[in-house]
Amino acid sequence: MLDSVESSLPESLLNRLADGSPARALLDGWHALESAALREPEALAAALEAAANLDISQALAGLAPAAALGVAVVGVGGNLIHGDDTFAEWFGDPRDNAAFRRLIQLAHRHGHASGLVDTLDGAAIAACAGDGAAARRWPLPRAALEALEADDRRIVLLGFSPSRASDLASRAAQVLGLTPLEARVAEAILDAPTVHIVAERIGVGYETAREALKKIQRKLGARRTSDVVRRLMALMCGDVPVDPDLAPLMIATLGATPAEARVGAQAAQGLSAAEIAGRLGVKEVTVRGQLKALYAKAGVTQARDLVRLVTEAGALEAITRAGEVAHQPDNAIGRLRVTAAPGGRQIAFWDYGPRGARPLLVPHGTITGRTLPAAFVAALQRRGWRPITPQRPGFGLTDLADGDYLGVAAEDLAIILDALRLDQTAILSRDDSAATSLEFARRYPHRVTIGMLTNPRWPGPEVRSAYTLMGSVARLFMSRPEMVSMVAEMLRRQTRTDLLRDIVRRSANHVDADIEVLARPGVLTSMVRDIQAMAVRTSKGFAQEQSFYAGGWQVPGDIGGRRWRVVEYEPLALEGVEAAFSALPQVDFASLPKAGLLAFHSHPEEIADLLGAIQAAPSAGKVRSAAP
């Protein structure tokens, strides 16, 4: 059976394109991956390239905020069958709304239609209509699904407006690290036309509101108010795969001409009329005229309102076109934060607190997402630590690196510490975060107190990894680095829940402790949602990191930290780890006998003890110790 799989892996990938799941063929035939790369590299590369161009509507998943959605189901004649409270508050009866009547007709004809719909208070909201085939992929409540199942001819109506959800605005302001006053100003500018009205609405003086807005812009690296709105809206719309080119959306949704849409897309990125004119090679007066016409079609009067409306419309289009969309989890522990690097590049991280405890950077791993298990956080906090989990460049909400990936990733850690006003930190690194952690310790030796690497990525020009799914992929990347970006994009476009569940299971099915962890209620779903949130915007961060590792890497010398420890998980252990990491200062070695890839879940107390014991380790020598 294995020989037949090995000889036909590229063919299997191509065959699965028809049902939108080529990654399933890769998952089923991972044992054959390395031999296929050796025997038929051109055929494998062609199959991977085709899979990387798969239509994202077939399998890409997203996460949408439930508070931003208003849902209704109507019958064949347009009569209301079901409507939630949000939809009723925004629109009332859809039969009384001409725009909805038109969307319903188009949905009956074409299956899906979207546009702008006026609310009862006269504002425009992005909305869409879809038949059963389209709407079953949408994040619908149970009552709406039941109403839809009762009659396939029914149409689902979906309104999407995060800017009208005060909880989302407040949460986004917290993520951006704004003070209470700044948060109130930021929320108000989403729909207040002037700073005077912002001040009146939140009950402060004009100068107070204006100064708060300036501070917000400095914090976010924003040049104008529309930039602030864009940053807020990007957080409020959820983890959805929005197309960065908004021009086609403006044509379809607003009825813009191609020239107006081209100018509007630039304005939505925060550019001024003069800057747009310079980029497009036209006169500024032409740009202003096109913007004025576009504002009239959108029913807005300024750039910030256009940014808000178009961002919401783009997010709704992504939600309704993706292969699957779930509701964003709202029960995560810790606090998501984003900060700005010089130049405005966004860096995201989770801060678990408490503020007065010893800082501990815990970068994310390969298949582990942006959040930490609650039991592990509690174990660290009981020992006086403040866990902080950065998202590396191109993962989650952190913007891509431009140029030196490893250097940018290391600099991001320093920027996070600066944003939190922290001088020093300890480091607890896992698998693929090893290189970034050590590069940070090399560049900022004075900022690192102690460090611990758990199951670190093997250094050097070869791949040494247990014979697992992820090990096979790593060996492919080392031997065929040109395939990294193709595999990365194929997997990103295959982030549907069912496939990700299988990937996680198969990646962690070699150790009993991992199997037991995944059997716990909620753990697998939480991991899948984390991975979806980390990958929905781009695969380029993963590709950049894996390309760096494919080129080989070395443990740097002269790094900070008075003492380091390397912890292996015994079932995955490799020979020679002491020699590979001997350059670390005052390094010692430990092992966890029964731990696997999910050790933060299965052995939280043991890992926290190993970290705490570094302070009491011998002052010299490289020794191997058992877990406490």
Claim to verify: residue 176 and residue 156 sit in the same structural domain = no
From the list 188, 436, 219, 225, the residue with the least C-alpha distance to 346 is 219
From the list 66, 70, 69, the residue with the least C-alpha distance to 80 is 70
CA distance 36 to 43: 9
Claim to verify: residue 485 and residue 561 sit in the same structural domain = no
Is 451 part of a structural domain of the chain? yes
- Contact (Cβ atoms closer than 8 angstroms) between residue 151 and residue 51: no
CA distance 377 to 603: 12
**Cis, peptide link before residue 354, omega less than 30° from 0:** yes
Claim to verify: residue 339 and residue 414 sit in the same structural domain = yes
Claim to verify: residue 456 and residue 516 sit in the same structural domain = no
Please give the tally of structural domains in the chain: 5
Domain boundary among 294, 321, 348: 321
As a dihedral over the C-alpha atoms of residue 148, residue 149, residue 153, residue 155, rounded to 10 degrees, the angle is 10
Q: Pairing state of beta strands 385-390 and 335-340?
A: unpaired
Claim to verify: residue 427 and residue 573 sit in the same structural domain = yes
Task: Output the CA torsion sign for 480, 482, 486, 492.
Answer: positive
- Contact (Cβ atoms closer than 8 angstroms) between residue 5 and residue 28: yes
**What CATH number is given to the structural domain containing 83?**
3.30.450
Amino acid of residue 31? H
Whether 510 has a pLDDT exceeding 90, the answer reads no
Q: Measured at the alpha carbon of residue 42, what is the angle toward residues 463 and 58, in degrees to the nearest 5?
A: 90
Tokens representing residue 266 in the block: 């630039």
- Once rounded to an integer, what is the mean pLDDT over residues 204-212? 95
- Tell me the C-alpha to C-alpha distance, in Å, between residue 244 and each of 160, 268, 480, 486: 19, 10, 30, 20
Claim to verify: residue 349 and residue 423 sit in the same structural domain = yes
* Band (367; pLDDT cuts 50, 70, 90): low
Q: Residue 214 sits in which domain range?
A: 166-236
Is 149 part of a structural domain of the chain? yes
Q: Which pLDDT value is given to residue 222? A: 84
* Band (75; pLDDT cuts 50, 70, 90): very high
CA distance 139 to 141: 7
Is 607 part of a structural domain of the chain? yes
* Beta strand residue intervals within 298-364, DSSP E: 324-327, 335-340, 346-351, 358-361
Is 330 part of a structural domain of the chain? no
CA distance 554 to 575: 17
Q: Which pLDDT value is given to residue 525? A: 92
CA distance 174 to 161: 19
- Contact (Cβ atoms closer than 8 angstroms) between residue 453 and residue 429: yes
- Once rounded to an integer, what is the mean pLDDT over residues 262-283? 87
Claim to verify: residue 450 and residue 560 sit in the same structural domain = yes
* Band (617; pLDDT cuts 50, 70, 90): low
Whether 198 has a pLDDT exceeding 50, the answer reads yes
Of residues 249 and 145, the one with the higher pLDDT is: 145
Q: Which pLDDT value is given to residue 316? A: 92
- R_g (Cα) of the chain, nearest Å: 26
From the list 349, 249, 334, the residue with the least C-alpha distance to 298 is 249
Claim to verify: residue 172 and residue 204 sit in the same structural domain = yes
* Band (454; pLDDT cuts 50, 70, 90): very high
Look over the chain and give the mean of its residue pLDDT values, rounded to a whole number.
88
* Band (105; pLDDT cuts 50, 70, 90): very high
Give, for 215, the enclosing helix (H) or strand (E).
helix 206-220
Q: Which pLDDT value is given to residue 213? A: 94
Counts for the chain of helices (H) and strands (E), in that order? 31, 16
Q: What is the largest CA-CA distance in the chain?
A: 81
**What CATH number is given to the structural domain containing 184?**
1.10.10.10
DSSP conformational letter for 467: S
Q: Which residues make beta-bridge pairs with 360?
A: 387, 426
**What CATH number is given to the structural domain containing 615?**
3.40.50.1820
Whether 96 has a pLDDT exceeding 80, the answer reads yes
Give, for 421, the enclosing helix (H) or strand (E).
none
Share of the chain above pLDDT 70, in %: 95
Whether 145 has a pLDDT exceeding 80, the answer reads yes
Task: Output the CA torsion sign for 540, 543, 549, 550.
Answer: negative
DSSP 257-284: -HHHHHHHHHHHTT--HHHHHHHHTS-H
Is 241 part of a structural domain of the chain? no
* Beta strand residue intervals within 414-486, DSSP E: 425-430, 448-454
Q: Which pLDDT value is given to residue 604? A: 96
Claim to verify: residue 268 and residue 310 sit in the same structural domain = yes
CA distance 129 to 87: 13
Q: Which residues of 207-235 are buried (b: 16+ CB within 10 A; e: fewer)?
A: eebeebbeebbebbbbeebbbbbbbbbbb
Whether 3 has a pLDDT exceeding 80, the answer reads no
pLDDT tens-digit map of 113-124: 988 999 999 888
CA distance 385 to 382: 7
Whether 560 has a pLDDT exceeding 60, the answer reads yes
* Band (2; pLDDT cuts 50, 70, 90): very low
Q: Pairing state of beta strands 324-327 and 80-83?
A: unpaired
CA distance 340 to 399: 10
pTM of the model: 0.88
DSSP 528-572: HHHHHHHHSS-SHHHHHHHHHHHT-B-PPSS-S-SEEEEEEEGGG
Domain boundary among 499, 524, 550: 550
Whether 18 has a pLDDT exceeding 90, the answer reads no
Is 25 part of a structural domain of the chain? yes
Claim to verify: residue 367 and residue 454 sit in the same structural domain = yes
Q: Pairing state of beta strands 80-83 and 69-74?
A: antiparallel
Give, for 118, the enclosing helix (H) or strand (E).
strand 112-118
Whether 626 has a pLDDT exceeding 70, the answer reads no
* Band (467; pLDDT cuts 50, 70, 90): low
Is 328 part of a structural domain of the chain? no
Q: Which pLDDT value is given to residue 461? A: 67
Share of the chain above pLDDT 90, in %: 55
DSSP conformational letter for 510: S
Domain boundary among 160, 184, 199: 160
Claim to verify: residue 455 and residue 359 sit in the same structural domain = yes
From the list 417, 352, 325, 444, the residue with the least C-alpha distance to 66 is 325
* Band (463; pLDDT cuts 50, 70, 90): low
The sheet carrying 588-592 orders its strands as 335-340, 346-351, 385-390, 358-361, 425-430, 448-454, 563-569, 588-592, 624-626
Whether 496 has a pLDDT exceeding 90, the answer reads no
Residue 354 CB neighbours (<10 A): 10
CA distance 252 to 429: 47
Is 329 part of a structural domain of the chain? no
Residue 342 CB neighbours (<10 A): 8
Whether 243 has a pLDDT exceeding 80, the answer reads no
CA distance 322 to 394: 20
Claim to verify: residue 446 and residue 595 sit in the same structural domain = yes
Whether 597 has a pLDDT exceeding 60, the answer reads yes
- Once rounded to an integer, what is the mean pLDDT over residues 270-289? 90
Amino acid of residue 469? L
